[in-house]
Structure 1
Amino acid sequence: MTTKPYLTGHYTPVPDETTAVDLPVTGALPPELNGEYLRNGHNPKPGITPSHWFKGSGMLHGVRLENGRAQWYRNRWVKTPALDGAPLVREDGSIDLTASVAGTHIVEHGGRLLALQESNLPFEVTPELDTVGPFDFHGKLTSAMTAHPKQDPATGELHFFSYSPFPPHLTYYVASPEGHIIRSQVVNGSGPSLMHDFAITATKAVFLDLPVVFDPEETSGIPYRWHDDYPARIGVLDRIGTPHVTWIPVSQRALLHVTNAYDTPDGKIVLEGPAYDQASWATSWKWWTGAPGYPTAPVSGAIATRWLLDPATATATEQELDDLVTDFPTINEDRTGLPSDISYSVAFPGAGLDEFAIVKLNTTTGQRHLHRPGPDRHAGEAVFVPAAGATGEDDGYLLTIVSDLRANASQLLVLDAHDLSTTATVELPRRVPSGIHGSWIPDTHLTS
């Protein structure tokens, strides 16, 4: 039997939970880094082979930093019904929104740490990564929640959505800074497409209705497949005043992750993210499902792309921004929904790059910096943390966990966000599997 690629190499699951304290540090940890770096990822239990990368049970990895020390490392499965085999669809055909693998992301909002998977309710965990249970926003959320909510840096509100292959296909939510839902709206005109991410600007919410569409004949367990006859569209919804959505035709591309979006002075919207064409999506999907002929890395052919959307004319222009194969983009989240120039992404082998790297891209100047971890080393998503007294967009640090196959080890790297040089290295007690998304949670946002 062929071993699935997401259970081998950098993605080989760990078999248990562990805790280590007083971790060795090389270099100097910035004194303002007081909090926890938390990262989520798919880590099925020993003996279990999920049919798709996205179906593996979620495991959280955390490193606590305080006063220049790395106090502890912990890894914990998110204890959901799905961890013990409960299906999403019950025998009577109803959906169990608590049967989440909770393996895509972890965020903080309203003092709660929420492990996310887009087909389910969020799962709350403690700062020590113990599972509290599902969180339904005090009974107001009765559908699934995206794994990519956006917090408005001006208001502290959390914007998110629920999508479904069945009507209503798309519902938009806003939660207050304290975690109470204050807006719930069906977005008219949406279809049964895979909507993994979205964007906000200061005045709009931006939704992706692209050609990866619900298909019950897909056998991988994730029932979506590229349909080239499904017209790609991007929806622009007014956040302010009377809600109105404009659907804008775009070329046939797929987008898993948004980098950022923002308004322009003349009423247009800039949207950026790594885009897949049909061939690159099909190749990447082979890795995610372990199909014959899968590539060596989970991302193939995704290219940083910019759309300029004009709601007044329902038209768009598109521009490729770089030629590296990238995904998992991040920004300085203080710029969420606001004009920004700088993004950080994971670069995958391809397009002249023969190893994994972290890439910093300035989309205004075209300047690019690379951090190359080295042979057989895979740095995951890089999370930006502002430096004390920061004024510039890149005044801060990047946190990323590296999987090192040669040493069978991992480190938490703290990189200078200006030039991607290494500020500090924290040695972790085991090799941490390459994962998905994470967050830096400062002590001011943590509650016990």
Structure 2
Amino acid sequence: MTANKPYLTGHFTPVADEVTATELTVEGSLPPELNGRLLRNGHNPKPGVTPTHWFKGSGMVHGIRLREGRAEWYRNRWVHTPALDGAPYMTEQGPDLTASTAGTHVIEHAGRLLALCEANLPFELGPDLETVGAYDFNGKLRTAMTAHPKEDPVTGELHFFASSPVPPYLIHYVADAKGEIVHEAEVPGATSSLKHDFAITRGHVVFVEGNVVFDPTDHSGIPYGWSDEHVSRIGVMPRGADGARHIRWFSIEPGSMLHVANAYEDDEGRIVLEGPTVDREGFRLSWNWWIGAPGRGSEPTARSYTRRWVVDLAAGTVDEQIIDDLPVEFPTLNEEYLGVENRYQYAISFPDENGLGGYGLVKYDRTTGARRIRQIGDARMPSEAVFVPAASATREDDGYLLTVVSDLKQDASQLLVLDAAGLDRIATVHLPRRVTAGIHGSWVPDGDLDEYQG
């Protein structure tokens, strides 16, 4: 049954159980300042379950606890939502927002760990990854929540949105640093275009609508498809209580973007936005991979190239260009620079549509235009690289990159701790099993859970 489902084979082969291992073997020396948890989420259907789409697989969170130079534990846990036991999303009463895969991302905000999937409510986890239950911000969240919220590094506010294939198409929320929702506004002019990620700058919220729109004829379980008729757009909305009233939409070239690298206002007040995008053929190859249909690429990111948009608010124009020809996804950065101009970005490189080129970890220098790649090795696939700033950082790239590698030849996984400046290896933590290739994750310092709200 899995032969035609690439998302259930190779690096994506699900694990069949939950385990806990302590006192993990470390090669090299873990920086003693790394005290916290690396958490990583991804789709991992239970044994005997074959989802119709990669995104339909149940979420499993993998955690690695580092403390004072030791790797204290590894554990993996399914997010125990009603959907894990087969509960349907659509009921006679409408969508069940608790019937979630909860398999896209895992974050911490205001002392809570939240497993996220954009079609549902968040699911709260405990410090040891046990499922606490659906979380609705004390009754103030009555919609789904994006899997890509943005925490303002200055204010601690959490910006997020709800996107729907039917009106209201887009709602913007803000939760304060204590985790209370303090703002909710429907965004005018939005459509049924798939909105997976977005951006914030110091002064604006930035949405992207591509050519992938709601398609009720799709039977994969994720009812979206490419539309040549739909106009791709960027929406720029001022932050603040009445910002939605002043949103402006700008037409852009056809395409689809899943993940934002960053956005900021430049010295001229223009909005600069970057992120990997696919064209029509790239979407076809990736969608066919996700559903296991013929005509798929070797990877779902085979034609995903980094694009830059510069939105001139005064002139009402957008300049855009592809700035790199390397297939990449999962862009990350030092999140202290989220919303302001950053010099460095990181990403994972993938084989191209012909299967050429290996997996690697990429560092971009946006000032010089330099690109550095650390090859991961044959049959080895890295996860999204999470940046952790050094305790005594003086430069933007003073810190560490944490990535979990799936090694098919050894049927094993390791956590690599790399120097973010030069991509040199600092330490390797050997994990007790091969970790399924996943999606997104976070570094959660111990201090952020000191007052865990349970």
TM-score of the pair, normalised by structure 1: 0.98
- The answer to whether the 8 Å contact 1:261/1:339 transfers is yes
Matched, 1:365 2:368: yes
Residue in structure 2 matched with residue 277 of structure 1 by the alignment: 279
User: Shift of residue 298 of structure 1?
Assistant: 2.3
Report what 1:129 is aligned to.
129
The runs of 4+ residues in structure 1 deviating greater than 4 Å are: none
Q: How far apart, CA to CA, are the structure 1 residues paired with 2:117 and 2:241?
A: 31
Deviation for aligned residue 1:241: 6.3
Give me the identity figure in percent.
58
Letter in 1 for 2:321: Q
Matches of residues 189-338 of structure 1 in structure 2 within 5 Å? 189-240=189-240, 242-243=242-243, 244-338=246-340
8 Å contact 1:248–1:311 — kept in the other structure? no
| 2:388 maps to 1:385 | yes
By how many angstroms is 1:59 displaced?
0.1
TM-score (norm 2): 0.97
Partners of 1:246 and 1:314 within 8 A in 2:
no
Displacement of 1:101 after TM fit?
0.4
CA deviation map 1:160-202 (0-9, x unaligned):
0000011110000000011100000100000001000000000
Q: Is the Cα contact below 8 Å between 1:106 and 1:114 reproduced in 2? A: yes
Corresponding residue number in structure 1 for 2:425: 422
* Structure 1 residue 295 displacement after superposition: 2.1
Instruction: Give the secondary structure class of the aligned counterpart of 1:33.
Output: coil
Aligned positions of 1:61-210 closer than 5 A = 61-92=62-93, 94-210=94-210
8 Å contact from structure 1 (residues 247, 314) kept in 2: no
What per-residue deviation string (whole Å, max 9, x for no partner) do you get for residues 402-435 of structure 1?
A: 0000000000000110111110000000000110
Partner of 1:403: 406
Q: 1:140 & 1:175 partners in 2: Cα distance?
A: 10
Any gaps of 5 or more consecutive residues in structure 2?
none
2:13 paired with 1:7:
no
Correspondence for 1:435: 438
Map of 1:32 onto structure 2: 33
Judge conservation of contact 1:331–1:384 (CA < 8 Å) in 2: yes
- The gaps in structure 1 that reach 5 residues or longer are none
Residues 62, 73 of structure 1: 8 Å contact kept:
yes
Residue 391 (structure 1) shift: 1.6
* Amino acid aligned to 1:316: V
CA contact (8 A) 2:202 2:265 kept: yes
The Cα shift of 1:265 comes to 2.4
Query: Where in structure 2 are the equivalents of 1:49-64 lying within 5 Å?
Result: 49-64=50-65
Residues in 1 aligned to 2:33 and 2:378: alpha-carbon distance in whole angstroms: 31
Q: Matched residues in 2 for 1:413 and 1:161: separation?
A: 33
The alpha-carbon deviation at position 219 of structure 1 amounts to 1.2
Equivalences for residues 337-376 of structure 1 within 5 A:
337-350=339-352, 354-376=357-379
Which AA in structure 1 matches 2:11?
H
Residue type at the aligned position of 1:336: L
Letter aligned with residue 308 of structure 2: R
**For the residues of structure 2 that align with 1:278 and 1:296, how far apart are their CA atoms?**
16
Kept in 2: contact 1:33–1:66 (CA 8 A): yes
Distance 1:112 1:9 in 2: 33
Counterpart in the other structure of 2:18: 17
| Aligned partners of 2:183 and 2:241 also within 8 Å | no
After TM superposition, give the deviation of residue 350 of structure 1 in Å: 1.8
Q: Report the alpha carbon displacement of residue 237 of structure 1 after superposing the two structures with TM.
A: 0.3
Deviation at 1:299, TM superposition (A): 1.1
Deviates more, 1:100-109 or 1:351-360: 351-360
**Contact kept? 2:272, 2:310, Cα under 8 Å:** yes
Alpha-carbon separation, structure 2, partners of 1:265 and 1:245: 21
Residue 299 of structure 2 contacts residue 352 of structure 2 at CA under 8 Å; is this kept in 1? Answer: no
2:454 is equivalent to residue 444 of structure 1: no
The count of corresponding residues between Structure 1 and Structure 2 is 447
Q: Which residue of 2 aligns with 1:41?
A: 42
| Paired AA for residue 14 in structure 1 | V
Are the counterparts in 2 of residues 107 and 114 from structure 1 also a CA contact under 8 Å?
Answer: yes
